[in-house]
Structure 1
Amino acid sequence: MEYTFVSATILLLLITDPFGNIPIFVNALRHVAPERRMWVILREVLIAFLLLLSFMFVGDGFLRLMNLSELSLQIAGAVILFLIALRMIFPSTQPEAAALQGEPLIVPLAIPALAGPSALATVMLLVSQAPARRMEWVAALCVTMAVCAVVLVLSDRIQRLAGDRVMMAFERLMGLILVAISVEMLLRGIRLFVLQLARSS
């Protein structure tokens, strides 16, 4: 699957899942003063952005250091996306962890809510597939983080207006789209693997 700027942005939005993260942010910021919440959210989004951006530039070196091929990253990324999508469609019935006291820093908002393993693998995958278009992927990441910032700053209002049922339905719809993307990535990885076997034999 060859990504464009638009498809890469949509993929990153599905992975970072700003709407699905609304309950996490609302719960984590419950004990933060209302006038501080916006600045905490913007700080956490910036931290996540810088981490993902760094992986865009050092991802190739990391792959070489770990002796990993682009094909293995493609298949691993597809599996991770599929598992994330299943969690979006079939959310856990276990009770949420108790809210943190005080102001959260880095964990759990920046990492892993926004810049989790799946997001890190995705930005590395984009760059490994088309290194010459790195600045295009950076722009897609910038748009993604801007959308995340707007959605999460308005998270209290969105949750009150939409309600839990609408938020859950939206997240499951996004999960279905993500399942299709992950299956396409997996099939492409398998095709490349079969072609490599045919060439080597």
Structure 2
Amino acid sequence: MGAFDFQELLSAFIVLFAVIDIFGAIPIILDQKQKGRTVNAIRATLIAFALLLGFFFAGDMMLRLFQVDIASFAVAGAFVIFLMSLEMILDIEIFKNIGPIKEATLVPLVFPLLAGAGSFTTLLSLRAEYASVNIILALVLNMICVFLVLKLTDRIERLLGKGGIYVIRKFFGIILLAISVRLFTANLTSLIEQFYALK
């Protein structure tokens, strides 16, 4: 599990907060409510947490099954995070949700908004740099934030306004862009060193 480190916890929290982007999801949540689709905050939070935690522990085993190391996955994850940041900064849609399930709590809220490809990729990418205990604690804190935002969606929108939510989304988009570059360069260096060590 590794040793507790507040700096690692804070960094992991910010990364996951930016990827999950619960504030950016507020307009989507409100749109679902306007369409008469109920959103269960407790259920959505618990299911998302279970999925993310399960992938955090089982994802490494899945990678070994496909003979993929964590550095390679982190580089691939950097590309996914990079594309997500472009969505947030440029207001474009790259990842389309065209699944058949229409129930709002599970789709689109839990998957892909809370526990989607970006979150899964980020969790395993973080394992290449941080101790597991710090990532898990950061995930728990993020799930608390998710629950509070889901419970107070209407109030938060009134408080921040559509402009405020828009600015927050852009801000975290830039953070994600920087994170993707750092993940890519750090783990690409590791892969290059492994390549030359094999020669």
TM range (shorter): 0.7 to 0.9
State whether structure 2 residue 71 is matched by structure 1 residue 71: yes
**Corresponding residue for 2:117?**
117
What is the total number of aligned residue pairs between the two structures?
Answer: 191
**Corresponding residue for 2:178?**
180
Unaligned runs of 5+ in 1: none
Shift of 1:91: 1.0
Alpha carbons of 1:76 and 1:140: their partners in 2 closer, same or farther (altered >3 Å)? same
CA distance in 2, matches of 1:107, 1:23: 15
State whether structure 2 residue 21 is matched by structure 1 residue 23: no
Which amino acid in structure 1 is aligned with residue 67 of structure 2?
Answer: N
State whether structure 2 residue 142 is matched by structure 1 residue 144: yes
Which amino acid in structure 2 is aligned with residue 144 of structure 1?
Answer: N
Shift of 1:6: 1.0
Unaligned runs of 5+ in 2: none
**Corresponding residue for 1:57?**
57
Would you say the 8 A contact 1:42–1:149 is kept in 2? yes
Shift of 1:164: 1.6
Shift of 1:84: 0.4
In structure 2, the residue corresponding to 1:92 is in which secondary structure? coil
Q: CA RMSD in A?
A: 2.7
CA-to-partner distance for each residue in 1:72-103, whole Å, 9 max, x for gaps?
Answer: 1010111111110010001138xx99xxxx85
CA distance in 1, matches of 2:152, 2:118: 24
CA distance in 2, matches of 1:107, 1:114: 10
- Residues 1-201 of structure 1: matches in 2 within 5 Å? 4-32=8-36, 37=39, 40-92=40-92, 104-127=104-127, 129=129, 133-201=131-199
Shift of 1:123: 1.4
Which amino acid in structure 2 is aligned with residue 17 of structure 1?
Answer: D
Which amino acid in structure 1 is aligned with residue 26 of structure 2?
Answer: I
Which amino acid in structure 2 is aligned with residue 81 of structure 1?
Answer: I
Give the share of equivalent positions with the same residue, in percent: 34
CA-to-partner distance for each residue in 1:119-151, whole Å, 9 max, x for gaps?
Answer: 011112233555xx3233221110011011112
Which amino acid in structure 2 is aligned with residue 54 of structure 1?
Answer: G
CA distance in 2, matches of 1:78, 1:179: 9
TM-score, structure 1 as length reference: 0.85
CA distance in 1, matches of 2:16, 2:90: 20
CA distance in 2, matches of 1:103, 1:123: 26
TM-score, structure 2 as length reference: 0.85
CA distance in 2, matches of 1:191, 1:28: 43
Runs (4+) off by over 3 Å: 127-130
